[in-house]
Chain A
C-alpha cells in the first residue's frame, strides 16, 4: 500500500524533473540556438529541399493556419482510403478484413486529430500495415501539428508587435526530427527490452501448461506504444491498451509510460517560460494546473483504494482496493493516477478499464476531459489554457473597470468572442451528442444499425448514461479513452463522434492561433502600475476560478445524471 503511493509520487516528481531540461532544449531548438541534436541539420535540409520548402519564408497567422489545415486534409484522405483497403495491402499476417466506410471515417479522423478513439480492436480491426502506415504515422504528425501550433503562438507572443508566427513547415519538421522521433526511438527500445514485442511475426499458437491451445497476438508494437504516449495520442496496439501485459509488461514500464505521456505537455509550459521570457507566468500556469490535477487525483485515489462498497457488503477483503478492470502488477493507486493523467492531458490510453472505475473516479475523469487544460495534450493543452486566460483577463478587466490587456496588447471584442465561442463549443458538442444518443436509446431502441440502440449500453441506469456522456466528452476533448462497454462500432457513433472530433480539434487550435495572430499585430502598450499582471498569483487564482465556473455551469447538470447519481446510489 505504501509502496503503491510512493510509486505514484516518484513518478510525478520524475516527470517534472525530466520535463525541465526538455523544456529548455525545446526552446533552443525552435529559437535556432545550438542544441545537442544539431547533427540532424543535414537531414532537415534534405527534407526541405525534397519537399520544396523555403525555410527562410515567414508566415502570418492566416498563412500558418492554411499550411496546417491543408496538410491535415491530405492526411485524412490518405488514411481513409488505406484503412478501407487494408485487406488488399501487404503486412497482414493475421488476415484481418478491411474497415467499413463509417469505421474508416471514424478511425482516420480520430487519429488525425490526436484523439485515438478506437471503435475497432487492435488485434482484429487493423493490419500491421495500417498500424504502421496510418496509425503510427498519424500519431507522429498529429502530435507535431499540436506542437507547431503552440510554437506559432509563442512566436506571436515573443515580439512586441509582429505578424510573423514562423514557418509552419519548418516548425513541424523540427518537432519530429528534434523531439518526437529521437525520444520515441529511445523509449521504444526501452519498452522492447522490457518484453513489448517489436518483431513483425503474426499470432503465435501455443499449448498451455494445462493443455489448452491458445493464440497470442503480437506484432511490431513497441514503436507505436512509445509515440502513443509521447505524442499524447493514446491509441493502443492491443484492444486492452496499456492494461495489456505485452503493451505494458511491468510496474517499471507503467511508470515509464506515465512519465512519457506527461513529459511534453509539462515541457512545453517550461519552454514557454524561456521562449517568450516570462518564466514567472509559466510557473504560475504550472502551479494552477498542478493544483487542478491534485483536486481531481486525490478523490480518485482515495475512492479506488477504498474499494467498491457494494462488494464490501458481500464480505470479501478489499485490501488491494477496487480491482475490477485493474491489473495486479499496477495496483489500484497507480491505476487511479493513470486514469487522471490520461484524461487531463488528452492521451486517452488506459491501464485499467474506466467503465469499471468507481463513480467518483468516473466523475473526475470526465471533469479532467471537460476542462482539458490541466497540462493538456501535446501543444494543445496550453492553447486551451490560453483561452481561459483571455476570458479571465476580460472578466478581471470588467471587475476593476479597465480595458483588458494581455502581454501589452488590448484584448477587444473580437478576441473575446472567439475565446467564448470556443469555450462554449465543447459544452454544445458533449451535451448535444449525449442528448441525441440518449434520445436514440429511449425512442428508437430497435433502429436497424449494426448494433441497435437497445444494445449500446453495457450497464443499466446512471452508469449507462455515463457511457454515452463519456464517449462524447472524450471525443470533444480529443482524448480517446472510452467506457469500452459501449457498443460504438456502428453508423451512429462512428459518424457522430467523427464530426465532433473534427470540430473539437481544429476550432480550439484555430481560435487561439487567430487570437494571438490578431493581438500580436496590435500596438504594444508598455506595462504601467495600472496594468493587470497576468503572472501574479492573484491572477492565477482568478484563472482557476474561471475554469471552475465555466465548467461547472456547462457540465454540472449532465454529470449529476451520470456519475453523481451513481455515486449517491452506491452509498
Chain B
C-alpha cells in the first residue's frame, strides 16, 4: 500500500543530503582555503587586477600576450574554437596569427613560433604560456619599454613554474603574474 511512497520519501531525504548539506559543508571548508573559496585574486597596490588562475586579455605591445582565445577572454563564459584540424577557414586564421606575430616581433623567425601562440586554448581563459612562448616576446617588450633584454629574460626565467614536484607535466608561465612583475621594473 505505502510502497509507492518509498521513492518519494527517499528522494526528499537525498535532496536534503546531496543538495543542501553537502554543498554547505564544502562551502564552509572552502572558507579556509586560499581565496576563501571564492577564487584566488591577485592585487596590485591593494587593487584586484584579476584572478590568479583565470587568463585575461593583453593586447598592448608592452605586455606579454597570452594565447589566442575563442571567447576573447570573457570570463563570464568560456570555450574553445571547436575548429577541426583540417578546416580551411581555421587554417587561414592560424596563418593570419603567424603573420601578426611576425609583424609585431620583427626579430622573430617563423620556425621559432610555438604552436600554442597561434592556436586557441580549450577554455578561452588559459592563464599560462609555455616558456618558449614567453621568451619569444622578450625582444619586443625590451624594445618597447626601453629596458635591457637580459633583464626581461631574467624576469621570465624567474616566473617559470616547473613540472609538478619536478617530475610531472609541462613547465608554464602565468601571464598575469609575469606582466605584474614587468610593471614593477623601473
Find chain B residues with CB under 8 A from A102 CB: none
B78 within 8 A of A: yes
**Contact A220 B23, beta carbon cutoff 8 Å:** yes
Task: Please count how many residues in chain A sit with their CB below 8 Å of the partner chain's CB atoms.
Answer: 117
**In whole angstroms, how far apart are the Cα atoms of A71 and B6 in the complex?**
9
**Contact B121 A328, beta carbon cutoff 8 Å:** yes
Q: Closest B-chain residue to A193, C-beta based?
A: B33
B139 within 8 A of A: no
B155 within 8 A of A: no
Find chain B residues with CB under 8 A from A74 CB: 7-8, 11
Interface string of B70-104 (1 = CB under 8 A from A): 00011111111111111110110011001000000
**In whole angstroms, how far apart are the Cα atoms of A566 and B115 in the complex?**
21
**Contact B123 A317, beta carbon cutoff 8 Å:** no
A75 within 8 A of B: yes
Q: In angstroms, how far is the closest chain B Cβ from the Cβ of A484?
A: 5
- Interface hits, A139-189 → B, CB 8 Å: 140-141, 169, 172-173, 176, 181, 184-185, 188-189
Find chain B residues with CB under 8 A from A335 CB: 122
- A243-B80 contact, Cβ under 8 Å, with A7-B167, A255-B168, A334-B169: yes
Residue of B2, B25, B31, B87 near A52 (CB, 8 A) is B2
Residue of B56, B63, B86 near A569 (CB, 8 A) is B86
**Which segment, of A197-205, A376-384, A431-439, A522-530, faces chain B?**
A197-205
B119 within 8 A of A: yes
B180 within 8 A of A: yes
**Which segment, of A16-24, A209-217, A276-284, A552-560, faces chain B?**
A209-217
Q: In angstroms, how far is the closest chain B Cβ from the Cβ of A260?
A: 15
**Contact A246 B53, beta carbon cutoff 8 Å:** yes
**Contact A199 B36, beta carbon cutoff 8 Å:** yes
Residue of B15, B35, B94 near A133 (CB, 8 A) is B15
**Contact B125 A245, beta carbon cutoff 8 Å:** yes
Residue of A7, A67, A198, A317 near B132 (CB, 8 A) is A317
Q: In angstroms, how far is the closest chain A Cβ from the Cβ of B156?
A: 14
Find chain A residues with CB under 8 A from B126 CB: 245, 327-329
Secondary structure of the B contact surface, majority rule: mixed
Find chain B residues with CB under 8 A from A255 CB: 164, 168
**Contact A458 B23, beta carbon cutoff 8 Å:** no
**Contact B15 A169, beta carbon cutoff 8 Å:** no
**Contact B119 A78, beta carbon cutoff 8 Å:** no
**Contact A240 B122, beta carbon cutoff 8 Å:** yes
Task: Please count how many residues in chain B sit with their CB below 8 Å of the partner chain's CB atoms.
Answer: 106
A503 within 8 A of B: no
Find chain A residues with CB under 8 A from B180 CB: 209
- A199-B37 contact, Cβ under 8 Å, with A121-B77, A206-B51, A327-B122: yes
- Interface hits, B1-26 → A, CB 8 Å: 2-11, 13-15, 17-20, 22-23, 25-26
- A216-B76 contact, Cβ under 8 Å, with A7-B167, A210-B59: yes
- A217-B77 contact, Cβ under 8 Å, with A198-B29, A325-B121, A327-B128: yes
Find chain A residues with CB under 8 A from B122 CB: 240, 243, 325-327, 335, 350-353, 356
B52 within 8 A of A: yes
- A7-B123 contact, Cβ under 8 Å, with A123-B76, A320-B114: no
Residue of B75, B78, B169, B179 near A3 (CB, 8 A) is B169
Q: In angstroms, how far is the closest chain B Cβ from the Cβ of A225?
A: 10
**In whole angstroms, how far apart are the Cα atoms of A147 and B58 in the complex?**
48
**Contact A353 B80, beta carbon cutoff 8 Å:** yes
Residue of A176, A254, A319 near B114 (CB, 8 A) is A319
Q: Closest A-chain residue to B124, C-beta based?
A: A240
Q: In angstroms, how far is the closest chain B Cβ from the Cβ of A142?
A: 11
Find chain B residues with CB under 8 A from A254 CB: 169
Residue of A51, A307, A329 near B169 (CB, 8 A) is A329
**Contact B79 A239, beta carbon cutoff 8 Å:** yes
Find chain B residues with CB under 8 A from A250 CB: 53, 164
Find chain B residues with CB under 8 A from A252 CB: 164
**In whole angstroms, how far apart are the Cα atoms of A42 and B120 in the complex?**
52
Find chain B residues with CB under 8 A from A218 CB: 38-39
**Contact A214 B73, beta carbon cutoff 8 Å:** yes
Q: Closest A-chain residue to B15, C-beta based?
A: A137
- A244-B125 contact, Cβ under 8 Å, with A3-B167, A181-B22, A323-B115: yes
A511 within 8 A of B: no
**Which segment, of A106-114, A390-398, A447-455, A460-468, faces chain B?**
A460-468
Find chain B residues with CB under 8 A from A323 CB: 115-116, 119, 121
- CB-based closest 6 A-B pairs: A198-B30, A485-B82, A243-B122, A463-B84, A7-B168, A353-B80
| 11 A/B residue pairs, CB under 8 Å, sorted by A | A137-B18, A181-B17, A199-B27, A204-B51, A240-B79, A255-B168, A320-B132, A323-B116, A334-B169, A352-B80, A459-B84
A192-B29, A214-B73 given; 19 more Cβ-contact pairs under 8 Å: A71-B6, A132-B19, A198-B27, A198-B30, A209-B179, A212-B56, A214-B75, A216-B76, A222-B30, A238-B123, A239-B79, A240-B124, A243-B121, A315-B98, A320-B170, A328-B67, A458-B83, A459-B84, A463-B84
- B residues sitting closer than 8 Å to A (CB atoms) are 2-11, 13-15, 17-20, 22-23, 25-27, 29-31, 33-41, 44, 47-60, 63, 67, 73-88, 90-91, 94-95, 98, 110-130, 132, 163-164, 166-170, 172, 176, 179-180, 183
